[in-house]
Amino acid sequence: METPSKIGRYRIESWLASGAMGDVYRGHDPIINRPVAIKVLRRDLVRGGDFKSWLERFRREAHAAGRRFHPNIVTILDFGEEGGAPFLAMEYIEGRSLDTLLKEAGRLSLERGVSIVLQILEALRFAHTDGIVHRDIKPSNVMVLDSGDVKVADFGVAHIDSSELTVIGDVLGTPAYMAPEQLWGAPIDHRTDLFAAGVVLFEAITGVKPFRGKSVTEIISYMQTRGPEDVLVHVPTAPPVLKDVISRALAFDPVQRYPTAAEFSRALIEARAADISSGPAGKPPEKPVLTATAAPAPPSSVRSAADVSEGPPPSAELLAQLERSLTRIIGPLARIVLQRELKSSSSLAQIQLRLATYIDGDVEREEFLRSSMGHPAATQEISSISARTGAQQDGPGQSAAAILSPELLRQVEVSLTRSIGPIARVLVRRELSKSTSAADFFTELANCIPDERDRMAFLNMRPMG
C-alpha cells in the first residue's frame, strides 16, 4: 500500500492502521505545528450515486463533533476531501490501543481493566447525553495514554448509518463486540454501546471474549440461551458482584441492561470497592482480633528491606506473578499493597521483603520469601541480606504502641476491617511496629482505604494532641 505524501494541508509522515472505514495516518499540521491523526474514509462505502449530498451531511456532523470536547474522547480538529474521499483530522494520541495492550499482556489486572472501562463509560455518558451512539466500541477504538488516561476514537463517524453504507469484504462493526440487535439489523440505541463496553470489560480482565462461537449464528445463540461466560472462572479473585454487573451489561434484551452509562459506571465502582473491602474470593470479613499489647517485631528478613541494594526493576510479568502469589495469601488487597510498595522499592527482592510484612503467618511469610517467584538473583539477594541482618533489632513502633490505648486499637481494627477486610489486622500490627507517632500510624492506615468518606471518618478517630 502506497502512503500518500500529503492529505489536504497535512504532511503525511507514516501509515498507522487500516479498518473497515478506511486508513489512518500520522500527519503534521504545518500551520499550528503539531502532530495529527488523519483518517481517510473509503469512498466506495457510500451506497448509491448521491455522494455530494452524503458528503455535505457528513461534513456538518464532523463539524458538530469537532465542537464537542471531552477528556475521554479523541477531538476532531478538521474535515476535508482528498481525491474524492473525505477525511478527518484528529488529535494525535501518544499511547497504544487497548487492542495492542491485550495482545501484548493477554489480559489486564482487574483494577486496570475496570479503570479503563470506567473512562469509556464516561465518554459514552457524554456522547449519549448529546444523542450520539458510537456503534463500534471495541479495543482498537480505545486509546490508552502512557498516563493511564483513556480516549475513545471514531466519534466523528458515529452518525454514519450503516444503512447508507455497503460492505465490500469488510464488516462495519466487529461481531464479537456487537449487541444482538445490531447483529441482526434491528434498531439500536445507547444500550448497544453499553453492551459493547461490557464485552470490552470482560475481555480486558479475562483475556477472552464472553461469547465464543464458530459463527455469528452460534454467538447469537449463546447470547440468548447461555449468557456470557462466568468471569469468576477466569478471574477467581474477582468479587462475585462483578459477575452480576457483567451479566446485566450483556443481557440479550436491551431492556434488561443498564439504562444509562452512569448507572453502569456506578455498579462497576461498587464492584471495584467490593474487590477491596471483601476477603479472598469475596468472603465477608472475619471477626477482627487484636492484641492490645505492643506489636511483635517483624522477622529479621522482613525488617531488612531497607538494606537491599538497588537492582534492575522487575518486569511486568514478574510483578504479575508476585501479585498472584500474594493474592493467594492475603486476598484482593494484594494489588493495592503492591502498587503502594512499588513507589518506594527498586529491586525485586526489596519489593518482596516489603510485601512480606503484610503476611501474618510465619509459614506463609517464609514460603512467600523463599519462592522468590523462581528468580534466582532475588533469592540469593534475600538470603544474603537475611543472614547479614538477622540479629538486628529495631522497634520504632514502641512510641505509637505506648500512646494508643488497647480500646482505641480495637476500634481502629474494627473500623479498618469494615473498609478493607480481614487484612486490617495485619496492617494494624505492621504499622504499630514501625510508626513513631499516632499521626503516622493513622495516616499510613488511612492510605489503604479507597473510599474518601470512609478514609476521613477513620482519620477522625485520631487522638487529639
Which residues are known catalytic residues?
Answer: 136
Give rounded-to-5 percent helix, strand, coil for the chain. 55, 10, 35
- In this structure, are residues 195 and 179 in contact, taking their beta carbons and an 8 Å threshold? yes
Starting at the earlier edge strand, list the strands of the sheet with 22-29: 6-7, 10-18, 22-29, 34-41, 85-91, 76-82
Starting at the earlier edge strand, list the strands of the sheet with 150-152: 95-97, 142-145, 150-152
Concatenated DSSP letters of 48-92:
SS-HHHHHHHHHHHHHHHHT---TTBPPEEEEEEETTEEEEEEEP
- DSSP run (H or E) holding 261: helix 261-277
Nine-digit cell string for 253: 434484551
Nine-digit cell string for 198: 461490557
The angle formed by the CA atoms of residues 371, 377 and 383, to the nearest 5 degrees, is 65
Q: Of the candidates 153, 162, 127, which has an alpha carbon nearest to the alpha carbon of residue 47? A: 162
Question: Residue 121: left (phi > 0), alpha (psi -120 to 50), or beta?
Answer: alpha
**Separation between Cα atoms, residue 362 and residue 141, nearest integer Å:** 48
Integer angstrom CA distances of residue 332 from 192, 240, 413, 442 = 32, 12, 18, 22
Residues 6+ apart with CB under 8 A from 99: 138, 139, 140, 142
End-to-end Cα spacing for the chain: 73
Question: Residue 106: left (phi > 0), alpha (psi -120 to 50), or beta?
Answer: left
Q: Of the candidates 123, 232, 124, 216, which has an alpha carbon nearest to the alpha carbon of residue 177? A: 216
Residues 6+ apart with CB under 8 A from 169: none
- In this structure, are residues 392 and 304 in contact, taking their beta carbons and an 8 Å threshold? yes
